[in-house]
Structure 1
Amino acid sequence: MNDKGFTLIEMLIVLLVISILLIITIPNIVKQQASIQHKGCEAFAKMVQAQVQSYQIDKNKWPDSIEELKTEGYLKETSCPNGDSVALSTEGEVTIVPK
Structure 2
Amino acid sequence: MKLLWRKLQKKAAPAFTLVEMLIVLLIISVLMLLFVPNLTKQKDAINEKGNAAVVKVVESQAELYELNNDSTATLSKLVSDGSITAKQQKAYNDYYANPPKDAPSRQVSN
TM-score, with normalisation over the residues of structure 2? 0.54
- CA deviations on 1:2-48 (whole Å, 9 max, x unpaired) are 13x54433332232222111111222334455544432221111111
- Report percent identity of matched pairs: 33
Conserved? CA contact 2:66–2:73, under 8 Å = no
TM-score, with normalisation over the residues of structure 1? 0.58
> CA RMSD, aligned part only?
3.4
The change in CA–CA distance for 1:60 and 1:68 in structure 2 (over 3 A counts) is: closer
Conserved? CA contact 1:56–1:62, under 8 Å = yes
Higher strand share: 1
- CA deviations on 1:43-74 (whole Å, 9 max, x unpaired) are 111111232244346x3435530121112211
- Structure 2 match to 1:67: 76
Conserved? CA contact 1:37–1:82, under 8 Å = no
Larger radius of gyration: 2
Conserved? CA contact 1:41–1:84, under 8 Å = yes
How many residues are aligned here?
88
